[in-house]
Amino acid sequence: MKNLWAPWRMSYIEGLTRKNEEKSCLFCRVISVSPDYDEENLVVYRGEKTFVMLNKYPYNNGHLMVVPNRHVPSIEDLNDDELLELAKTINLMIRALKIAYNPDAFNIGANIGRDAGAGIEEHFHVHVVPRWRGDTNFMPVIADTKVIPQLLHDSYKSIKNVLSTLL
């Protein structure tokens, strides 16, 4: 048997055991701190009613989460102003990802509730995932391993640079 070393995954594993101990919401903690810590927290954009951060455990490079500032479990709990800004922010992120990465397509969606696959079910958010033809290869099937071709820090810089030209 061969070993595939992935030491960056340990923080995820340790985070799973701490998740039960932590009572506060990840998104609420991130949005409550100063924008001076946005890079550390992977926040690429702050709006009036929403913010956007990179997924720390992405499906693909550039995998973003668009999050309402207000702590609600479902899209139906958002008011009209929050829904409008959420939609506009998703549009902005699609434009930014197109410029930064030139993807062939996008997956955009939300998992509402644990049984739908929500990892953070108490705070609604929308995933925006750039996709490329052939971005899924044999690794997930054969080795149960997803290859992400870009470091999170590099993804952060790429998206922030594009957003600075769009805003």
Helical packing angle, 80-101 and 152-166, nearest 10°? 110
Whole-number Å distance between alpha carbons of 123 and 72: 5
Q: Judge whether 63 counts as a catalytic residue.
A: no
Structure tokens at 118: 């929500």
Q: Which of 63, 123, 125, 127 is the catalytic position?
A: 125
Q: Taking the CB of residue 70, how many other CB atoms lie within 10 A of it?
A: 16
The amino acid occupying position 78 is: L
Is-contact 152 56, C-beta < 8 A?
A: yes
Q: How many residues does the chain have?
A: 167
Burial 134-155 (b: 16+ CB within 10 A, else e): ebeeeeeeeeeeeeeeeebeeb
Give catalytic residue positions: 125
